[in-house]
Chains A and B, each alone.
Chain A
Amino acid sequence: MPQLVDALCAQSGVLSEGWNTERRWYLETFDGRLAAAKQVLSVVKRPRLGTEIQLRTLAGETTEQLTSELAMPQFASQFRPGRMQLRLAQITLGRALLPRAVGQLKVLRCQCQDATGKLLAGLQLEVGRGRQPRVVLRVCPARGFERATQRVLRPFLALGLVVPLKADAAAPLLQHAGLARCAYTCKPLIRLRPQLAAAPAVAQVLSAYTHSLRANEGGIVADLDGEFLHDYRVVLRCLRAWLGDLKPCMAQPPLRALRAGLTTLNRLTGKLRDLDVLTRQLDAYLAQGDGMTPTIPLRERLATCRAQAHTELAAHLKSPVYRSFQRQWTGFLAALTAGKHPGRGSHLPIRDLVRRAIGKRRARVLAFDPALAQTNPSALHELRKNCKRLRYLLEGFALLFARGPLRLAVEELKNLQRTLGETWDLHVHLGLLTRLCAEVPGGAPLVVVLGARLCSLEAQQVVLVVAAIGHFRSPQAQRPYADLLARAA
Chain B
Amino acid sequence: MMTFATYNLKGGVGKTAAAVNLSYLASLGGHKTLLWDLDPQGAASFYFRIEPTATKNSATLLERKRGLGPAVRGTNYPALEIIPADLGYRDMDLALGELRKPNERLGKLLAPLAADYDLAFIDCAPHLSLTSENVFDLAHWLLVPVIPTPLAVRAYTQLREFCERGKLAHKKLLPFFSMVDRRRQLHCKVVTQFAQEHPEVLHSFVPYTSQVEKMGEQRAPVQTFAPSSPGARAFVALWAAICARVGLPNGP
Interface residue ranges, A against B (CB under 8 Å): 50, 64-69, 80-83, 116-119, 141-145
User: Which chain B residues border A68 with CB–CB below 8 Å?
Assistant: 30, 252
With A65-B78, A142-B75, A144-B74 known as contacts, the answer to whether A80 contacts B252 (CB < 8 A) is: yes
Bound together, the chains give a CA A83 to CA B30 distance in angstroms of 10
Contact of A66 among B30, B50, B81, B117 (CB under 8 A): B30
Bound together, the chains give a CA A64 to CA B252 distance in angstroms of 14
Determine if B30 and A118 form an interchain contact, defined as CB atoms under 8 angstroms apart: no
Residue interface bits B73-117, CB-to-A below 8 A is 1, else 0: 111101101000000000000000000000000000000000111
Residue interface bits B219-247, CB-to-A below 8 A is 1, else 0: 10000000000000000000000000000
Determine if B74 and A119 form an interchain contact, defined as CB atoms under 8 angstroms apart: yes
Which chain B residue shows the least CB distance to A70? B252
With A68-B252, A83-B118 known as contacts, the answer to whether A117 contacts B49 (CB < 8 A) is: yes
Verify if B31 is at the interface (C-beta below 8 Å from A). Answer: yes
**Sample of 5 A–B contacts (CB below 8 Å):** A83-B115, A83-B117, A116-B49, A143-B81, A144-B72
User: Which chain B residues border A145 with CB–CB below 8 Å?
Assistant: 73-74
With A66-B30, A83-B118 known as contacts, the answer to whether A142 contacts B252 (CB < 8 A) is: no
Q: Number of contacts between A and B (CB, 8 Å)?
A: 53
Bound together, the chains give a CA A292 to CA B79 distance in angstroms of 49
User: Which chain A residues border B31 with CB–CB below 8 Å?
Assistant: 82
With A82-B118, A83-B32, A83-B118 known as contacts, the answer to whether A50 contacts B73 (CB < 8 A) is: no
Determine if A80 and B30 form an interchain contact, defined as CB atoms under 8 angstroms apart: yes
Bound together, the chains give a CA A316 to CA B117 distance in angstroms of 48
User: Which chain B residues border A116 with CB–CB below 8 Å?
Assistant: 49, 219
Verify if B249 is at the interface (C-beta below 8 Å from A). Answer: yes
The dominant DSSP class at the B interface is: loop
Bound together, the chains give a CA A141 to CA B73 distance in angstroms of 10
Which chain A residue shows the least CB distance to B76? A119
Determine if B252 and A50 form an interchain contact, defined as CB atoms under 8 angstroms apart: yes
The smallest beta-carbon distance between A73 and chain B, in angstroms, is 12
Bound together, the chains give a CA A83 to CA B118 distance in angstroms of 7
The smallest beta-carbon distance between A238 and chain B, in angstroms, is 38
Most buried by A among B74, B76, B117, B118: B74
User: Which chain A residues border B78 with CB–CB below 8 Å?
Assistant: 65
B32-63 at interface with A (beta carbon < 8 Å): 32, 48-50
User: Which chain B residues border A82 with CB–CB below 8 Å?
Assistant: 30-32, 118
User: Which chain B residues border A144 with CB–CB below 8 Å?
Assistant: 70-74
Bound together, the chains give a CA A119 to CA B76 distance in angstroms of 5
User: Which chain B residues border A65 with CB–CB below 8 Å?
Assistant: 78-79
With A82-B30, A143-B73 known as contacts, the answer to whether A118 contacts B252 (CB < 8 A) is: no
The smallest beta-carbon distance between A326 and chain B, in angstroms, is 46
The smallest beta-carbon distance between B204 and chain A, in angstroms, is 23
Bound together, the chains give a CA A64 to CA B116 distance in angstroms of 10
Besides A64-B32, A81-B249, A118-B50, 13 more A-B contacts (Cβ < 8 Å) are A65-B78, A65-B79, A67-B30, A68-B252, A82-B30, A82-B118, A83-B115, A83-B116, A116-B219, A119-B74, A142-B73, A144-B71, A144-B72
Determine if A80 and B74 form an interchain contact, defined as CB atoms under 8 angstroms apart: no
The smallest beta-carbon distance between B214 and chain A, in angstroms, is 15
Which chain B residue shows the least CB distance to A51? B252
Determine if B49 and A143 form an interchain contact, defined as CB atoms under 8 angstroms apart: no
Bound together, the chains give a CA A141 to CA B75 distance in angstroms of 10
With A116-B49, A118-B49 known as contacts, the answer to whether A67 contacts B75 (CB < 8 A) is: no
Bound together, the chains give a CA A344 to CA B201 distance in angstroms of 85
User: Which chain B residues border A81 with CB–CB below 8 Å?
Assistant: 249
Which chain B residue shows the least CB distance to A122? B78
User: Which chain A residues border B71 with CB–CB below 8 Å?
Assistant: 144
User: Which chain A residues border B117 with CB–CB below 8 Å?
Assistant: 83
Determine if A69 and B75 form an interchain contact, defined as CB atoms under 8 angstroms apart: no
User: Which chain A residues border B50 with CB–CB below 8 Å?
Assistant: 118
B168-203 at interface with A (beta carbon < 8 Å): none
User: Which chain A residues border B73 with CB–CB below 8 Å?
Assistant: 142-145
User: Which chain A residues border B116 with CB–CB below 8 Å?
Assistant: 83
Determine if B118 and A142 form an interchain contact, defined as CB atoms under 8 angstroms apart: no
Which chain B residue shows the least CB distance to A142? B74
Bound together, the chains give a CA A83 to CA B81 distance in angstroms of 15
User: Which chain B residues border A83 with CB–CB below 8 Å?
Assistant: 32, 115-118
